[in-house]
């Protein structure tokens, strides 16, 4: 049975501009086939196999014909395929051609519309595509020509009322401006160019038809960019957003529904993720609950696996009635409380009573640093394995570390060259313990922040304001 192919619009760039149906289809997908302009942060939450078929200008590492065949072959193998395309799949994205090919080969498919950059990208730069005082219509035109070389109808385009948007037209910008003026459009007509709309590196400039090419060259704006022509461009100065962290690109550890990510993005920052270590559950024996004693929780993940084991044996937290529950630190104490358990105290090796059983619960490697001279039992409920990080650290202004484990996860997953880059990057450590771990790893530009999202935001603002 053939699998469903979903032609999904990823929107203009910001991961939160993906539609709800698009998000659900990505969650359900076995394979995600994605384009170059899809933001990597959008792909981070999904476990599906990911295939990059991105096309650079004048260079297609995977041809459109190969992409078409790939979608058919994957579907025939019974895979659910998410074909993720920037913007809207049917707005100059060749989604229509892919749909035709799927239909011809009797492959079930659907279209999940996305926000086209022709509209959303302009809005991000403060340009409404229509406005009662300036434009009651708009026209979206591709700057690319087909291989037959057929010219655009410049006489018609130059005399259109309303807003004109050119997509994929940066290489043709001199031609576009010359042709519009040659066919009667006033050289004083406002023009704007918006690069990387809704991404962290978004930039926008405006001028008029006569001078926009010179300005673009001076400011070194290149593709991908939108070209917008018309009176609405005059509104850019009034409507362009100016959020406190706008233009910053920050790296944080991946966490589903991350509140840290939401807090930073609400202030205008763009956020991307690094992977956490993979946790592999281990087999372990449970202690004698009747004996009672002290249960020391090194990290909450370890306790989670411990609880899962209890439940599989028909036991719940009531079995811990005779045990003192000790949290290794304040974070573990807080997580236990969220789970309905109050820690009796924080870990202090000098206060342990070895007259009764003492059991440490933690990750296999981490437990080795807790072994005292006096005998105790060590319950390794899982083992964490390093994940290789495929991240260009040069693309980020700073890293936010909420925990010491996150520091270790990123550092150990990086190559030696990447580790050298990390040593000089701004690293915001949420708390003294996290800052100590950063120093231990040799990071030299560590900024300690009191562990709250508000403090992170205020500190980031102050640091980058300087």
**Residue positions annotated with a catalytic role:** 35, 55, 168
Question: How many other CB atoms are found less than 10 A from the CB of residue 206?
Answer: 20
Those residues whose C-beta lies under 8 Å from the C-beta of residue 176, and which sit 6 or more positions away, are 143, 166, 169, 227
Q: 3-class SS at 372?
A: coil
Tell me how far CA of residue 292 lies from CA of 289, 319, 321, 356, 422, in angstroms.
6, 10, 8, 7, 46
Of 210, 47, 234, give the one whose Cα is nearest residue 135.
234
Strands 5-9 and 81-85: parallel
Tell me how far CA of residue 367 lies from CA of 208, 283, 284, 359, 370, in angstroms.
66, 15, 14, 11, 5
Return the percent helix, strand and coil in the chain, to nearest 5. Answer: 35, 25, 40
Q: Are 399 and 294 in contact (CB under 8 A)?
A: no
Specify the DSSP element, H or E, that contains 34. Answer: strand 31-34
Of 70, 13, 92, give the one whose Cα is nearest residue 83.
70
Of 435, 378, 374, give the one whose Cα is nearest residue 404.
435
Q: Are 360 and 298 in contact (CB under 8 A)?
A: yes
Q: Is 142 left (phi over 0), alpha (psi -120 to 50) or beta?
A: beta
- Bridge partners, residue 270, by sequence: 249
Provide the token pair at 351: 């206060």
Tell me how far CA of residue 156 lies from CA of 152, 161, 409, in angstroms.
9, 10, 58
Q: What are phi and psi of 167, to 5 degrees?
A: -100, 145
Q: 3-class SS at 165?
A: strand
Burial (Cβ within 10 Å: 0-12, 13-18, ≥19) of residue 426: middle
Q: How many degrees, rounded to 5, is the angle at CA 390 between CA 411 and CA 437? A: 10
Any alpha helices (H) in 61-207, and if so which ranges? Answer: 64-76, 95-104, 117-124, 154-158, 173-182
Residue with tokens 């203009």: 12
Angle between helices 404-413 and 432-440 (to 10 degrees): 20
Question: Taking the chain, what is the end-to-end CA distance rounded to the nearest angstrom?
Answer: 60
């Amino acid at each position: 049975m053939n699998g469903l192919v979903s032609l999904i619009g990823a929107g203009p760039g910001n991961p939160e501009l993906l539609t709800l149906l698009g998000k659900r289809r990505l969650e359900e997908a076995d394979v995600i086939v994605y384009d170059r302009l899809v933001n990597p942060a959008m792909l981070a939450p999904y476990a599906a196999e990911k295939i990059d078929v991105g096309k650079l200008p004048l260079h297609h590492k995977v041809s459109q014909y190969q992409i078409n065949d790939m979608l058919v072959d994957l579907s025939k193998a019974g895979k659910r395929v998410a074909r993720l395309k920037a913007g809207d799949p049917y707005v100059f994205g060749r989604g229509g051609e892919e749909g035709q090919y799927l239909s011809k080969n009797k492959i079930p498919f659907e279209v999940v519309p996305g926000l086209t950059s022709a509209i959303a990208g302009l809005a991000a730069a403060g340009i409404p595509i229509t406005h009662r005082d300036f434009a009651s219509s708009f026209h979206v035109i591709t700057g690319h020509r087909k291989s037959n070389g057929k010219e655009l109808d410049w006489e018609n385009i130059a005399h259109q009322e309303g807003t004109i948007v050119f997509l994929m037209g940066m290489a043709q910008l001199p031609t576009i401006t010359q042709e519009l003026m040659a066919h009667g459009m006033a050289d004083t007509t406002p023009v704007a160019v918006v690069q990387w709309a809704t991404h962290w590196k978004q930039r926008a400039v405006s001028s008029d038809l006569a001078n926009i090419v010179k300005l673009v060259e001076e400011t070194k704006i290149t593709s991908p960019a939108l070209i917008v022509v018309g009176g609405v461009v005059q509104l850019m100065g009034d409507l362009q957003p100016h959020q406190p962290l706008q233009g910053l690109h920050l790296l944080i550890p991946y966490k589903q529904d991350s509140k840290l990510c939401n807090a930073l993005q609400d202030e205008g920052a763009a956020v991307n993720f690094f992977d956490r270590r993979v946790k592999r559950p281990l087999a372990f024996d449970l202690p004698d609950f009747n004996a009672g004693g002290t249960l020391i929780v090194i990290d909450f993940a370890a306790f989670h696996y411990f609880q899962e084991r209890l439940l599989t044996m028909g036991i719940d937290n009531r079995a811990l009635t005779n045990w003192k529950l000790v949290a290794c630190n304040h974070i573990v104490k807080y997580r236990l409380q969220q789970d309905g358990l109050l820690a009796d105290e924080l870990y202090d090796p000098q206060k342990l009573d070895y007259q009764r059983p003492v059991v440490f619960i933690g990750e296999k490697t981490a437990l080795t640093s807790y072994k005292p001279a006096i005998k105790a039992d060590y319950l390794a409920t899982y083992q964490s394995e390093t994940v290789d990080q495929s991240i260009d650290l040069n693309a980020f202004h700073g890293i936010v570390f909420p925990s010491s484990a996150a520091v270790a996860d990123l550092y150990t997953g990086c190559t030696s060259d990447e580790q050298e880059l990390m040593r000089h990057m701004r690293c915001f450590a949420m708390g003294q313990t996290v800052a100590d771990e950063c120093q231990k790893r040799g990071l030299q530009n560590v900024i300690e922040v009191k562990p709250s999202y508000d403090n992170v935001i205020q500190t980031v603002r102050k640091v980058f304001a300087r």
